[in-house]
A = this chain, B = another copy of it.
Amino acid sequence: MNPRSVRAHNDVLAATIALLDEGGLPAATVDAISARSGVSKATIYKHWPNRTAVAAEAFGRRMADAMPLPDTGNARDDLAEQVRRVSAFYAGRHGLVFAQLLAATVADPEAAPFFRQFFLDGRRQAVAVLWDRALARGEVKSSVTVETAIDLLFGPLIFRLLTGHAPLTVAEADAIAAAALTGLLA
């Protein structure tokens, strides 16, 4: 890959992250990204199909390393802790950006793959590790797929994040995790 391209790519992502931090997704205008990064709009559109894709990659890339997996040696505690952490993340200052990004993805299907690739897949895999570990130990029902487990554990959080119909406190997260785990543990 052309080193100039690499440079441009990175500059764009860095600028985008900065803008997302400052004003959320609405602030991450293509013009703003271009101005901040010094990379021209035309070039940006050569690397990504649209602005949502840029934001998805930028934000997802950063989140990748931001959330280490718990390892208490016990499936229930591992998963419950993970739910708690994700809930805290959603409730924290980056939660809104995540929600905005997810929302933008709906309105703009072309960006969905980027969101999945750079954001969902990584986190999904992380949880899959926990799940497989638990499965190996026989702590969880083998009849339940990882997919179902993940949706059951994190779907409720997403639901709350998006609609804001109920708070995302630690207590709430624990209640959700507890109920969900009853259906998942062996």
Chain A positions within 8 Å of B, measured between CB atoms, are 25-26, 99-100, 102-107, 112, 115-116, 120, 124, 144-145, 147-149, 151-152, 154-160, 162-166, 172, 175-176, 178-184
Contacts of A26 in B (CB 8 A): 107
If the complex has contacts A152-B176, A155-B159, A175-B148, are A165 and B99 also in contact, measured as CB distance less than 8 A? no
A148 and B165 within 8 A (CB): no
In the complex, the count of this chain's copies comes to 4
Looking at the complex, which one of B103, B116, B182 makes contact with A106 (CB distance below 8 Å)?
A: B103
Closest-CB distance, A63 to chain B (whole angstroms): 15
B180 and A152 within 8 A (CB): yes
Closest to A179 in B: B183
Closest-CB distance, A173 to chain B (whole angstroms): 10
Q: Which 3 A-B pairs have the closest CB atoms?
A: A155-B156, A103-B103, A182-B183
Looking at the complex, which one of B115, B147, B162, B180 makes contact with A183 (CB distance below 8 Å)?
A: B180
Contacts of A160 in B (CB 8 A): 151, 155
Instruction: Determine which residue in A104, A164, A184 has the highest number of CB atoms from chain B within 10 A of its CB, and name it.
Output: A164
If the complex has contacts A148-B179, A152-B176, A166-B147, are A99 and B104 also in contact, measured as CB distance less than 8 A? no
Looking at the complex, which one of B99, B120, B155, B181 makes contact with A155 (CB distance below 8 Å)?
A: B155
B164 and A151 within 8 A (CB): no
